[in-house]
Amino acid sequence: MGKRFLLVGFLISLTILSLVVNTVEAEPRVYYGRVVGTEFFVIQVKGDNGRTSVFWLGHRTHLDSRVPFFGDRVRIEYVKDKLSRNAVTRLVVLR
């Protein structure tokens, strides 16, 4: 019975330690472009380099002005979330 408690305690400690070690401070990245598509909580933005990227809007997204429409030039600050998606933290409509 004592060995079982030791094993469970060791596994719980190992799990907590691995969660603490794997936490990474996410630095927001900035993306400039023009909105080419929207669908529910997803927007597609064509960057200045001609590449189209997908960004996810959520409850933590801060809108500095209004919701972007097609053709609006935007500035997006984003981080990679746990699912490796581009999660928007701040969205600004430039024009």
62, β-bridge pairs: 90
Structural domains of the chain sorted by starting position, each given as residue range(s) with its CATH number in brackets: 29-93 (2.40.50.320)
Q: How far is CA 80 from CA 5, 16, 25, 63, in A?
A: 38, 23, 11, 18
Q: What is the pLDDT of residues 27-58, one digit of tens each?
A: 788 999 999 999 989 999 999 889 999 999 98
- How does residue 23 score in pLDDT terms, banded at 50, 70 and 90? low
Whether the per-residue pLDDT at 19 is higher than 80: the answer is no
pLDDT at res. 73:
94
pLDDT at res. 35:
94
| Helices of type H across 1-95 | 2-22
